[in-house]
Chains A and B, each alone.
Chain A
Amino acid sequence: MRTFLAATALCVAGFAVSAAPTAPVALVDDAVITANGMPKKLSDFGFFKDQAGWQPNKGVELYQLNSPLFTDYAEKYRYIYIPAGKKAVAGGDGVVQFPVGSALIKSFGYEIDGQDRLLETRVLLHRADGWIALPYVWNAEQTEATLKVAGKRIPVSFTDPSGNKRDISYAVPNKNQCKECHSLSGAVVPIGPKMRNLPHDTLDMLLSNAMLEKTAGDHPPIPDYADDGMPLESRARAYLDINCAHCHNREGSASNSGLFLTYEEEALVHLGVGKRPVAAGRGSGGFEFAIAPGEPDQSIMMHRLKSLEPGVAMPEVGRSLVHEEGAALLSEWIAAMEKE
């Protein structure tokens, strides 16, 4: 569904642009990706052929994830760029190692008044000294996105997938907040593109374009948490993995919490079962355990997932709405656990 929407959006936008006479388009500027500094405009990179940021340039490929992160029901368009003649390599651990000069590009938007509009485009650039994350905010005319290192709040009105009208203060993360999530032992890293989270068509595309090389290992995919044909346990774990585990892992921003929500975590107490809070403060909601088996309404995890209050709400950034579907999934998962 999501793929279909994205493709449609691309076609529509593409049509609008191709109707106008266009100048020959330059290629992606590799030097801008790898040079020090922070380009002021998204167009400096040349990731898109059109001013409006819908038509990926040569070498920039649209891709999908099995399970996406919830960001206030925004539509997300993900692109991958690998410099010509280079390849990403997937090792035994399923982590995709991108060559220097690669870029991951992600545009966020909503359908507003019947039109697809982009709010922001975040780029992750792989430079010689590591990754850097930068947020670009689109202008009202949708002709350029400008660097906003300090982030920005944008009032947005849209209709969510259930048909509810929503008015939110959409938060474009600042550069540091980008890193809060994209951090492993203090260094910036990509989150989404791990082998187990890439669907078949994306993998096929990357392999057939010679953008990816698989060296070893079999990487069973994690399910799409929205796919209710999959087992509840693995859907819930997929949801936690993609929405929480970028911070809640042993090397992430929430390492001190002792709550580790990666897909691989085996210790129940670190997943939250019977785990008491450490630094939750009023985030505890007066409950004793992150997960009280069989009792979602007594579980801190649910309390924080359903809250919109800063200081209580989890994740701490990138959410100004409750993800009702995600909360329902985790609630069902916890309710199905045997009471202790």
Chain B
Amino acid sequence: MIRTLLAATALCCTMPALAKTITVEAGADAQERLQEALILAEPGDVVELGTGTFELTDGLSLDVDKVTVRGAGMNKSILNFAGQLGAGEGLLVTSDDVVLRDFAVEDSKGDGIKSKGADRIVYHAVRVEWTGGPKASNGAYGIYPVEASDILVQDSVVRGASDAGIYVGQSKNIIVRRNTAIENVAGIEIENSFDAEVTENLVTENTGGILVFDLPNLPQMGGHNVLVARNAIINNNTDNFAPEGNIVASVPAGTGVMVMANRNVQVVENAMINNGTSNVMVVAYTQKFNDPNYDPTPRDVYIADNVYGRAGFAPDFEGGQQLAAAFGGALPAVFYDGLGKGLIVNDAVPVLNLGLTEVGQSPMEAKPSLHKQKGPGEAAALSPIILPASMEAALK
């Protein structure tokens, strides 16, 4: 009897409240109505955005687990932040198991959508855009999950970010697939993160296409296990419009893929075409730092089975033109600073090796040559990223 009673009580306690759909339409007082819906939503609820443009006056935020925010489509339900008076981003998510889908965030003053510490988050078919195109006054990141485990960003579009269109920072277990990143400083950036797949994205007209970085003095360092595969990385020659001081401000225009200070990164089966500085750069972090736990070098980077178009015809760094002249008018498709260890390039393209021997060495001391590799190298395949089933199920 007691046992049954206890069991029944336990059931009551764990049963979620009946999930409901809260519909919010565009129109007057959109800020208060939408923010209130996001606050009063309960786990399991769907906050549904109507068709039209929501004129917001402040940032929005969601801090309830297991809530879906769903619009009528990335060109139909538009959260417009042009009149925003406060907050560091358009939409901030700080709860777990959230699904964001089928709406747009336009012209936010800071970042577009930030999710911090939000585990198992899904971004599906959202658009984040600064509608005036590339400008230094645009917000930094478009889609910005940070400090989380299990992240899925797919079928989304990001344009105009003055730092990275899609930026995943200090996180684990990440899939970024089938997105379009256009006219950002960095199209897609994976930074200080572990276990990521960046696949099947169209990355074009950015300053740099796909960046895999690690930076010092951060709570999570030692970025590793990143797969960059089956992406179209084309025409990333937009002048760098990042505000100085930020690491991406140092990315040369015309960068296809850039791997910096990471370990176990595989760049395979991509189409890399018409990137004026280089299709792939493999380099160390060169700025001064004070952090004994930080390794600034690239290690075990594997490049294979890619399709290459033109590259290196307009190198955007000091001395680049002379260097290109020395190599017959264009830099080789792959650019390596010579630091770290374990670089394997199996593709039949020339690889420039700057021949640096110490991190932070002046490029003037470079001894550029063509990188020689005796036959194809081998690297163990990275383990596929498996996300919790609940994340895929949420999209059905």
List chain A positions with a Cβ less than 8 A from chain B: 149-153, 169, 171, 174-177, 179-180, 183, 186, 250, 253, 255-256, 258, 269-270, 274-289, 300, 309-312, 316-317, 320
Contact = CB atoms under 8 A, between A and B. Distances in A.
Contact of B85 (A280, A286, A288, A320): A320
Contact of A311 (B32, B35, B88, B169): B88
Interface string B22-41: 00000000011101101110
Contacts of B321: none
Interface in B78-101: 84-89, 92, 94
B116 interface: yes
B59 to A, nearest CB: 8
Contact of B84 (A277, A288, A310): A310
8 contacts: A186-B94, A186-B117, A279-B141, A284-B244, A311-B88, A312-B110, A316-B86, A316-B88
B63 interface: yes
Interface in B231-247: 243-247
B357 to A, nearest CB: 24
B39 A174 contact: yes
B85 A150 contact: no
Interface string B197-219: 00000000000000000010111
B61 A258 contact: no
B58 A280 contact: no
Most-contacted residue by chain A among B39, B58, B167 (CB, 10 A):
B58
Contacts of A275: 217
A247 to B, nearest CB: 10
B162 interface: yes
A286 B89 CA distance: 20
A177 B61 contact: yes
A153 B57 contact: yes
A273 to B, nearest CB: 10
Main secondary structure of the interface of B (DSSP, over half): loop
B45 interface: no
B39 A176 contact: yes
B139 interface: yes
Given A169-B85, A279-B140, 7 more contacts: A153-B57, A176-B94, A250-B219, A270-B217, A279-B141, A310-B59, A320-B86
A149 to B, nearest CB: 5
B318 to A, nearest CB: 18
Nearest to A169: B85
Interface string B113-125: 0001100000000
Given A171-B85, A281-B140, A256 B218 contact: yes
A281 B243 contact: yes
B87 A287 contact: no
Contacts of A312: 110
A281 B85 contact: no
Contacts of B36: 149-150
A322 to B, nearest CB: 14
A316 B287 contact: no
Contact of A176 (B63, B85, B215, B218): B63
Nearest to B137: A282
B244 A286 contact: yes
B258 interface: no
A311 B139 contact: yes
B109 interface: yes
B323 interface: no
B62 interface: yes
Contact of B245 (A256, A258, A284): A284
B244 A287 contact: yes
Contact of A258 (B33, B40, B219): B219
Contacts of B218: 256, 258, 278
B58 A153 contact: yes
Given A279-B169, A281-B141, A300-B245, A256 B116 contact: yes
A255 B147 contact: yes
A276 B287 contact: yes
Interface string B134-147: 00111111001011
Contact of A309 (B35, B39, B109, B247): B109
A171 B31 CA distance: 13
Contacts of B84: 310
Contacts of B111: 279, 281, 311
Contacts of B31: 150
Contact of B219 (A186, A255, A289): A255
B154 interface: no
Top 4 closest A-B pairs, CB basis?
A281-B140, A311-B110, A284-B245, A311-B109
B378 interface: no
Contacts of B139: 281-282, 311
B94 A317 contact: no
A175 B129 CA distance: 27
A300 B172 CA distance: 29
Interface string B272-308: 0000000000000001101100000000000000000
A276 B247 contact: yes
Given A269-B217, A288-B245, A180 B61 contact: yes
A281 B162 contact: yes
Given A171-B86, A310-B86, A151 B35 contact: yes
Given A281-B140, A282-B136, A310-B86, A174 B35 contact: yes
Contacts of B247: 276, 278
A149 B117 contact: no
**Could you say which of A151, A179, A278, A311 has the most chain B C-beta atoms within 10 Å of its C-beta?**
A311
Q: Of residues A256, A285, A286, A320, which shows the largest number of chain B Cβ atoms within 10 Å of its Cβ?
A: A256
Which has the most chain B C-beta neighbours within 10 Å: A180, A275, A277, A281?
A: A281
A320 B218 CA distance: 30
Contacts of B87: 177, 310, 316-317
Contacts of A175: 39, 63
